[in-house]
Amino acid sequence: MKFTSLLLALAVSASPLSQAAPAKKTGKKSAQSKPKAARKAAAVAVPAAAAAALTAAQAGDALVFSESEAVNAFADEVALRHGFPRAELAALIGQIRYIETAVQLVKPAPKGKPKNWQNYSRVTIEPIRIRAGVAFWNQHAAVLARAQAEYGVPAEIIVGIIGVETIYGRQTGRFRVLDVLATLAFAYPEAPNRAARMAFFRGELENALVLARKSNIDPLSMLGSFAGAIGMPQFMPGSVLAYGVDYDNNGSIDLRGSAVDAIGSVASFLVQHGWQAKQAGPLVYPASVSDDRAWESLLNQGLAAKFRAEELRAGGVSTSAVLPSNQRFGLIDLPNGPDPTEYRIATDNFFAITQYNRSYFYAMSVIELGRAIRQNRAGQPLASVETL
C-alpha cells in the first residue's frame, strides 16, 4: 500500500493496539553502530514533556505514543517541515508500538572481561561467514567488480562489511523500524548521553517517515534491527537517504531485497566518508612499539590518519614494511585481555571503515573477513597480516 493511501486508511480505522512485528536480535554488535547513521541528519529538538514520558516508561508503563505530548509536538514539527497532513500523521502514530526489547538492548553491557581482539575475531571471521561470503561474491562478481571500478572500493571490503553486518542478508532484523525508532526517541534508557541519543533517534524517526514517502512504501512495512538499521548493510534511515544508491537502476533503493543496491550503497558510504580510491597498498601494517611508551601519545587521536611515517618512528613505532612517504597514518591498539596487545599502523582507508562503526575491532574484522573470503575463493591459503 502506498504511503499516502495508507495514512488515509489509518485516519478512518486506526487502532492504537495493532500488533508489533515479532522481535529478533540481529547480528549487530551494538546499537550504534552503525554507521550507518547520516551524519548530517537534522536533530529534532527534545521537548520538555519527553522527560515525563521517559519517567513513565522507566516505571514500567509502556508508552502510548498517541497520548504523549512530546510525540505530538514532534509530529507537529515534522508535518510543518515536510508537508505531511497532520491528521494522517496522528493516525500513523496510533499504530506505532513501544518496544521494551529495544530499550533493553541499547543499554550498555555490564562490565565483564577485558576486550579481546582474538576472541572477537574468532566470532566474526568464521567458516559460516566465509562460505557465505564466497557464495555472495561468486553470485555478484560482476556487480562487485563494477563497484570497485566506479568507487575504488575493493570488492573484498564491500563483501567484508555485508558479511559482518548481516551474513549477507540472513540477519537483517524483524523489528518494525518505526516502533523501535519511536521507542528510542521518546523512552531511551538512563545514560549520560541520553538527551543526545534521543535527539538522534528523533531525527532518524523523521528520516524514516521521509524515506517511506520517497520510496512510496507503507512506513509500517519497514523492518530492521533493534536500533532501526535497515537491510543487508544495516543503514539507518538517514544513511539510506544520504548514501543509498539505486545500483540496479530499477527506480528504488532496496537495501533489504537487492544485493546490488546494498553493494553500491556500501561503496557510496565509504567514499563519502573518506575512502581514498588512489591510495594503494595495505589498509593496515603490523607494528611494534618501544618499551619507553613514548608512542602512547599517538594513540586515541581520533578516527583519522594524522601522522607521517617519521613521526611514528620518532615515537617508537616500527614496522617491517616500507610505509609510503606521501601518506599519513594512525596508530591503533587491539587489546587481547591478559595476553599482549597487538598494534597496527592504519591508513585513511582503515579509518573510513571506522566511520561505518566506530570500532577498531569492527574495521579489522571487516578487513580480515574480506581477506579470508578472497583467499578462500581463490583456493589459496590465508595470508598474513602484512598483506591486509
pLDDT in tens, the chain (388 residues): 444 444 433 332 322 222 233 333 333 333 344 443 443 333 333 444 444 444 444 444 579 999 999 999 999 999 999 999 999 999 999 999 999 999 999 998 888 789 999 999 999 999 999 999 999 999 999 999 999 999 999 999 999 999 999 999 999 999 999 999 999 999 999 999 999 999 999 999 999 999 999 999 999 999 999 999 999 999 999 999 999 999 999 999 999 999 999 999 999 999 999 999 999 889 999 999 999 999 999 999 999 999 999 999 999 999 999 999 899 999 999 999 999 999 999 999 999 999 999 999 999 999 999 999 999 999 866 554 444 4
Q: Which helix (H) or strand (E) holds 237?
A: helix 237-243
pTM: 0.83
pLDDT of residue 44: 39
pLDDT (0 to 100) of residue 15? 27
Residues marked active site are found at 165
279-304: string of b/e by CB count within 10 Å (b at 16+)? beebbbbbbebeeeeebeebeeeebe
Partnered with residue 343 across adjacent β-strands are 287, 333
Residue 286 near residue 344, CB atoms below 8 Å: yes
pLDDT of 171: 96
198, containing H or E segment: helix 194-215
Name 313's Cβ contacts closer than 8 Å, sequence gap at least 6.
none
Q: Count of CB atoms within 10 A of residue 274's CB?
A: 16
Question: What is the reported pLDDT for 291?
Answer: 94
379 contacts: CB under 8 Å, gap ≥ 6: none
Question: Residue 32: its pLDDT value, please?
Answer: 40
